[in-house]
Structure 1
Amino acid sequence: MEAKGKDKREVEFFGKFILCSNNEDNFIKIDGNETRFWVLKVPKITTEETDYLNHLNREVPAFLHFLKHRQLHSKNLTRMWFHPSQLKTPALKKLLANNRNRVEKELATILLMGMDHFNIDDIQLCPIDALQLLNRTRIKTDLTQLRRLLKNSWKLENQKNTLCYQRLVWWQDGSIEQREAKGRYFNISRSFLIENFDELMNAED
């Protein structure tokens, strides 16, 4: 708190901010593991209301009755009260998908394309494989960024030991195939990609 002509001083504060925007895709930067935001898409108003104040006055008693007699559907499981799964609205998923960087989006697209082509639900991937796949799209990245993406952003764990796996290869003529390789690969599931990137894919379609 800083008054004119006086030294500023710290005061205790607890509050909630409501951010409103017509931009659904990227009005705020949110990390994929953030649990402090509840993003809701507000329906459009279909008819204009000119007697709004009188409506509010009539509804106040009913609203107070509702607050007094309602049954809570959520238990106080965290400091934010709601469990993170309850905050995962379609609007939040869309926002998170559009917050992801281009490397993530392109890699997810390529992996889903490979899964569709081979009719599989999981793909094994080493960072060097991801680098070679992304080189076909001419996106500039490196092994350090890709390893950080898979471990920190996507929260995946690679194999502890070197094992055989089916490596996804994308050739210059546009064809793709799987070849046997060895490495400490990450296992990426279709369900993970759909959960985190499906809103983005639908938006691009």
Structure 2
Amino acid sequence: MENHEIPYSRIGWDYYLFDDVPTVYGKNIRTLIKWNKQAIIDDHGKKYLDKIPKYVGFTCVPSHLDYQRVIGNRFNQYHPISHKPKKGSINNTISFINHLFGEQYLLALDYLQILFTMPVQHLPILCLVSNERNTGKSTFLKWLKIIYEENATFIESNSFQSQFNTDWAGKLLGLMDETLFNQEEITEKLKYLSTSNTQKLEAKGKDRVEIYIFIKFIICTNNEYNFIKIDEFSERFWVRKINRLKHQKTEMLEDLKEEIPAFLHFLTQRKLSTRKQSRMWFSFEQIKTKAFTRLVQNNKSRVEKELASILYMIMERLEMEEIQLCPYDAVDLVYRSRIKTSQNEMRRILKRNWKLTNQTNSCWYEKFSLWQDGDIQSKKTKGRYFTVTREFLITNFDDFDDN
């Protein structure tokens, strides 16, 4: 165990100093700082080295209820949090969570409870979005940083473009405020990290080392519609639109901070409202929101939106629940709107984006054509058609939702 009378440790071949670093929140965080062996000798004498605890190397095992500084003969890099659960009032905290999560309030409590009691469990990428000010989004990130201290870190989007990842490796939370992921490969990396168990740790001048990762990402942004590129099948994302606070309190963060011990006690006592449904605990249906659908809709191409609009219009006018078409039919339909595309793009939209399967054999179906005056005509033809339903369009395109 860590000897507080000896503020040093030798881990592997290197020496480290335990230092209590003051923070802006009025608390000191015990931090491990790489130290010079000769400096220790100069300050305490050579025999002092024999008193320093020695460990083979590092490990990183998160725990908030049964924390161990030393596991086997390795030093645990995960930081113990200073808050101790203690029974008390949590009125401000409950009100704040209810404001952010509304009808998904119980899911939010489950998310926070799992984060505290089961830190290695994968959780969805939580995205709090709003183009309004004074919503509490940034306060939520600051509050989590205060709770988890050195185990939570603020990350900028360009961190995912760098080959080095020591700034977030071994962290429980990656917090991102006003972040824009405008490259698809960054989105894919974010999705991969949220469900992976291991990752190669890279630092300048050092060999790559495989480490266990358990980081959860939380994104807050004022850009509701295109801060990240995802599709309707991105089951890892929990997107919530946050409204403006009805009563803005200048001391809100301080009030939340005061209730942290009581809230952690509450999390250890309550019963989860959900059972594990997926590797990220929650099912896609549980966390899917209108904000998610709007985000996906905005990420769709002009061709895709126009095709969906035309198909829905045909179904509405002819009182149909589904329509059959082949890629070349789709090209012809959007061409009437002066949008040029190709059969390959339409096939990609129908198969990859919409996840539809065409007929294995050429079959008869009713082909629809749209004329310049808005008239709809149909004729029987044969082809390996796809079937698009009204329900599919309403579910995946926000413009057609009457609710």
TM-score by length of 2: 0.47
Aligned residue identity for 2:235: T
Q: Does 1:9 align with 2:208?
A: yes
The answer to which structure has the higher strand fraction is 2
1:26-50 Cα shifts (integer Å, max 9, x gaps): 1111133222211111221122212
Aligned residue identity for 2:394: I
Of structures 1 and 2, the larger Rg is shown by: 2
Cα distance change, pair 83–165 in 1 and its aligned pair in 2 (3 A): same
Q: Does 1:46 align with 2:246?
A: yes
Q: Does 1:186 align with 2:391?
A: no
**Where do residues 154-165 of structure 1 align in structure 2 (5 Å cutoff)?**
154-165=354-365
- Whole-Å Cα distance in 2 between the matches of residues 132 and 3 of structure 1? 54
Equivalent of 1:119 in 299, 303, 319: 319
Q: Quote the offset at 1:153 in angstroms.
A: 1.0
- Whole-Å Cα distance in 1 between the matches of residues 324 and 203 of structure 2? 59
Equivalent of 2:290 in 80, 90, 98: 90
- Whole-Å Cα distance in 2 between the matches of residues 54 and 147 of structure 1? 55
**Any conservation in 1 of the 2:303–2:341 contact (CA below 8 Å)?**
yes
Residue 271 of structure 2 aligns to a residue in which SS? coil
2:372 is matched with: 172
Q: How many residues align?
A: 200
Identity level (%): 49
- Whole-Å Cα distance in 2 between the matches of residues 54 and 38 of structure 1? 27
Aligned residue identity for 1:76: K
- Whole-Å Cα distance in 2 between the matches of residues 44 and 200 of structure 1? 24
Residue 108 of structure 1 aligns to a residue in which SS? helix
- Whole-Å Cα distance in 2 between the matches of residues 154 and 25 of structure 1? 20
Root-mean-square deviation (Å) = 2.0
Deviates more, 1:172-181 or 1:22-31: 172-181
TM-score by length of 1: 0.88
Aligned residue identity for 1:110: I
Q: Quote the offset at 1:166 in angstroms.
A: 1.4
- Whole-Å Cα distance in 1 between the matches of residues 348 and 215 of structure 2? 34
Q: Quote the offset at 1:201 in angstroms.
A: 4.9
| Structure 1: stretches of 5+ with no match in the other structure | none
**Where do residues 132-151 of structure 1 align in structure 2 (5 Å cutoff)?**
132-151=332-351
Deviates more, 1:28-37 or 1:97-106: 28-37
Select the structure with the greater relative contact order (CA < 8 A; seq sep ≥ 6).
Answer: 1
Deviates more, 1:49-58 or 1:82-91: 49-58
